A = this chain, B = another copy of it.
Amino acid sequence: MSSTFGDKLKLSIFGQSHGKAIGMTLDGIPAGLPVDPDALQEFLNRRAPGKNAWSTTRKEEDRPEFLSGILEGRTCGAPICAVIYNQNTRSGDYRAIADCPRPGHADFPAQVKYGGFQDVAGGGHFSGRLTAPLCVAGGLCKQWLKMLGIEIHAHIAVLAGIGGGSFDPVAPEADQIGKDFPVLDPQAGEAMRAAIEAARAQGDSVGGIIECAVTGLPVGLGEPMFGGMENRIASAVFAVPAVKGVDFGAGFAAAYLKGSENNDPYTLVDGRIRPVTNRAGGILGGLTTGMPLIFQAAIKPTPSISKKQQSVSFSQNTVQTLEIKGRHDPCIVPRAVPVIEAAAALAVMDMCLQEGKLWN
């Protein structure tokens, strides 16, 4: 519930956008697993703001300081706590917002829920900035899953209505994802970047769809009904702000197919049973099939836009025009790509731990 996740693994995320620090505690991780801080930092840099032309100019290091749980480069079995101190905070930008809820943000329901006691600066605990500790946790899990042969890769499938290509669901082309801009089709990537720039110029924003593949999973991971891989991954992925939809394999498109088109027939490869196709996205009955687990997450356009919008004043109870100033991403989709990977990694790691997959 709330800002905690996991059954065997226990993640607890804390912090507000412009508070002293953000961070996370990750409990339930076996002892002796190696931690590669450079690989983690590289992963975090994919999410960090201010690293590229298309994102906010707020520059944060996003450099986690580990307070516990890691000893001489390995997990020691104790809970892992990492803190990222906020450096570049500007609460002035948000003063007006406290009285005037930004459309598309949590401001209004948060005001009602927390009775005005919530931290409004930068969205407080609802800020996308909280995906940084989520990426610390997920980035560590990605390293450990890799030791089991499980890899997680995501790319931009759609941005501003521009299609960037889809994975081959049987053999996702992870190596073809652009390093600089995470898209399979470089030309589509160019068009996407142009669309982001255009949105910025208009004081507007654009959304997209991220496709993610988890490869190397064993057959039979997951549980029936509420413990299915879809349920677990969705509960992690919907924690990412701006995600408004999740589907698996053919997903919503399966609604347009016949059973004979959507079912994946079985075959034998080197004497082992394998689906021929992968419309199921690697999950049947909540259990992994041994095929790549493939899902898509819909990301809404960033709600922070500089265009004038209609809102209200809490204090005066009047309709008002809101003009949001400050630095905002016209599109968070590129930065959300590693976040989606991190969320998936948490769900998969938790399931592996629950089912006794062993790290040696």
Is A2 within 8 A of B266, CB to CB?
no
The 8 Å CB contact of A78, one of B5, B69, B118, B251, is: B118
Q: How far is the CA of A42 from the CA of B257 in the complex (A)?
A: 31
Is A319 within 8 A of B268, CB to CB?
yes
Write out, one digit per residue, whether chain A residues 302-329 have a CB within 8 A of any chain B CB (1) or not (0).
1111010111101001110000000000
CB proximity of A279 to chain B, nearest CB, Å: 8
Majority secondary structure of chain A interface residues (helix, strand, loop or mixed)? mixed
Indicate whether A224 sits within 8 Å of B15 (C-beta atoms), given known contacts A83-B67, A247-B246, A301-B257: no
Q: How far is the CA of A127 from the CA of B222 in the complex (A)?
A: 16
Is B10 within 8 A of A4, CB to CB?
yes
The 8 Å CB contact of A248, one of B15, B227, B244, B273, is: B244
Interface residues of A (CB under 8 A from B): 1-5, 7-8, 10, 12-16, 19-23, 25, 27-28, 31-32, 65-69, 71, 74-81, 83, 101, 103-110, 112-115, 117-119, 124-126, 130, 158-161, 199, 202, 204-209, 219-220, 222-228, 230-232, 234-236, 238-239, 241, 243-252, 254-268, 271, 273, 275-276, 280-281, 284-290, 296, 298-305, 307, 309-312, 314, 317-319, 354-356, 358
